[in-house]
Amino acid sequence: MDATLLDRSRWNGFWGVGFRCSIRGCRTAEGSQGKDLVTGGHPGDPEYGRGGMIAAFVEQGHEVVLLYLNDGAWPPTPAETRLAEAKKAGELLGARPSYAGQKNGAAIVDNNHYEDFAQRLNA
C-alpha cells in the first residue's frame, strides 16, 4: 500500500505478515499511544503472523487496525465463517478489523483500490 495515500500523522507504521514499513522510522516508546496497521491477505493472516505484536501494542495503548484484503473463502469454509472468525480474533486482541471487501482469488490492487483502502483506514 502506498503510504502517501494515508494521513501519516495518525499512523506509527504499517505491518504485514513478514514485513514492516514504518512511516516515522521507528516504533513509538512503550506507554505512548499510536495507531498501527496490520495487513493480511486473508482473515487470520495478521493474527497468525503478528498476534503477539498486536496484543503488545494494544496493551501499550495503541489503536491497532487489522486490514483484511479479501474475505478468505475457501471451500468448504464460506466467507461468512472466515469473517466471523476474524471479528472474534480482533475482539480477543483488542484490535479493530477493517475489510477491503475483495473476494479470495480475485483481489484487485490498483490505484482506485488503494484510494478505497486509504479512505477506510483514515476514517
Using the 8-state DSSP alphabet, how is residue 95 labeled?
A: -
Closest to 43 in 3D by CA, of 21, 74, 11, 12: 74
- Domain segments of the chain as ranges: 9-122
| 15-19, 47-51, 61-65, 107-111, range with the lowest pLDDT | 15-19
CATH code of domain 9-122: 3.40.50.10320
Binning pLDDT at 50, 70 and 90, where does residue 1 land? very low
